[in-house]
Structure formats: C-alpha cells, structure tokens
A and B are shown apart, each in its own frame.
Chain A
Amino acid sequence: MFLPFMMGHHFGVPFHVELQKRIIKEALRRIKLAENSGDIYHFPMTWAQARTEGKEIERLRVG
C-alpha cells in the first residue's frame, strides 16, 4: 500500500487514532484483496487532508 504522506508519518498524523487504525486496516485488507504479487494500492487520502484533520484534532485536544 502506498501513502502519499510525509516521510516518518506512514501511519498518519499525531493523535489521529481513527486514521492510524484505518491505515493499518486498509493495509491488512490487501491480504485478501490483492490479486497479484507486487500490486500497489494507493491509499485514498492526501497529506494535506491528513494534516487538516490532524490540526482539528489537536485544536480540540487543546481546547
């Protein structure tokens, strides 16, 4: 599975528990869904989206 995220952030952004779990689940689903060895699945989220959600979570934590 390929994630277009910043290096060092392959499981998402800090404190975004649901995104971190979703990434692991999607990766593990490839075990059943991959059709060929070497298939690459592109995780459907941009780094900008992940960062935006992460910032909102951090805002709520602080607030």
Chain B
Amino acid sequence: MTENSDDITELRPGLWDTVNDRYPGSMITKADLIPLAKAAKPLSASRLTFVSTSGVQRRGTMPFDTVHPVGDYTFRRVPSDSKPGDLEIHQLKYPTVGAKRDLNVIFPIERLRDLVNEGFIGGLTDNFYTFIGYNMDAERLERTLAEDIAAAVEAEKPDVVLLAPA
C-alpha cells in the first residue's frame, strides 16, 4: 500500500487514448456503420448461416496457421450437418477449456440445428464459415478474407447471418 494506492491513475497517461491510436484502422467507428438492414421474412422462414472466428474446422482439412506473425487470411467451410466429433479447433488465442468439452459454447452447431427442429429458424445453409481472429493487418483482412467469405456466403443465399467472435 502507498499513500496514493486508492487513487485511480493511468500508469502511462497519454500513451494512447484508444486502441485505434495503437493499431490505426483496427477499430470500427460510427462513420463505418452501414444502414440497418431489416429482415425480409420471419426467422421461422429464413435460412441462416454462421460465421465464426473460432478456428473450428473439419478434421483432415488444412489447419489454420496459428503461429504466423501477421495471421492467416484464409477461411474454412464447415458443413452444417457436421457432428462435433468431426471438428477440431485450430486457434491459440482464446481459452478452449469449455469448447473441448462441449464445442457448442463457441461453435453452436447442434444448438442451431435444435432451433431449426423447433421451428425458430427456417433452415441452415449447407456450410458455415470460420477463420481465425488473430490477424494483425486489418486492411488486408478487409480486402481479402472479408471479401472472400462474403462471396462464399452470398453464393449460399442465406437470409440471415449470425456472426460470432471467439
């Protein structure tokens, strides 16, 4: 304890004010927001796809490069009828203690099928899409990976896309 220990002070004040100062271009600003899109049909009649940064992929497919210094800008298709046992995680940047016991905590493939069976969602696309979230070049990600996934998703013609980080 010191006489100032109750004070809330920055250890390095003024170093940078936002993450964007430290990693320019990495943060979305209000100016980047696109107009809100309203659903054209009810969820119960909509086909959904899922896009995740979890690094989940089918066993036997090319593993994501989890140790490349600037990241891996590729994506994988994961068939939406896969069993959790058919899948594995290639990502080091988040704790997988829960996902190793129940993959649905990060990649809820069984729960999405449950919601289709319950009629909450109309259906699923043939594939879901994954990549790894640790990519240090935001501009490259936007120019390559984001465009590649967008094109692949669009080709499956979903009505709704659920996006989730890991």
- Does the CB pair A37–B35 fall under 8 Å? yes
Least CB separation from A38: chain B residue: B33
Taking CB atoms, residues of chain A closer than 8 Å to B108 are 11, 20, 23-24
- Does the CB pair B165–A10 fall under 8 Å? yes
Assuming the A-B contacts A24-B111, A37-B34, are A7 and B102 also in contact, with contact meaning beta carbons closer than 8 angstroms in the complex? no
How many residues on B have C-beta within 8 angstroms of the other chain's C-beta atoms? 33
- Pick from A9, A21, A34: contact of B105, CB below 8 A: A9
- Does the CB pair B115–A21 fall under 8 Å? yes
- Does the CB pair B34–A8 fall under 8 Å? no
B147 to A: closest C-beta gap in Å? 20
Contact of B87 with A by CB under 8 A: no
- Does the CB pair B111–A21 fall under 8 Å? yes
- Does the CB pair B111–A8 fall under 8 Å? no
- Does the CB pair A21–B98 fall under 8 Å? no
Taking CB atoms, residues of chain B closer than 8 Å to A36 are 36
Taking CB atoms, residues of chain B closer than 8 Å to A23 are 108
Q: Would you list which residues of chain B between 13 and 62 have a CB under 8 Å from chain A?
A: 30, 33-36, 38-39, 43, 48
How many residues on A have C-beta within 8 angstroms of the other chain's C-beta atoms? 25
A27 to B: closest C-beta gap in Å? 6
Assuming the A-B contacts A28-B43, A32-B39, A37-B36, are A8 and B94 also in contact, with contact meaning beta carbons closer than 8 angstroms in the complex? yes
Taking CB atoms, residues of chain A closer than 8 Å to B35 are 37
The 6 closest A-B pairs by CB, nearest first: A14-B102, A8-B94, A37-B36, A37-B33, A7-B94, A8-B95
- Identify the A interface with B (CB < 8 A): 6-15, 17, 20-21, 23-25, 27-28, 31-32, 34-38
- Identify the B interface with A (CB < 8 A): 30, 33-36, 38-39, 43, 48, 94-99, 101-102, 104-108, 111-112, 114-115, 120-121, 160, 162, 164-166
8 CB-based A-B contacts, threshold 8 Å: A7-B94, A8-B97, A8-B105, A9-B95, A11-B164, A17-B104, A24-B112, A25-B120
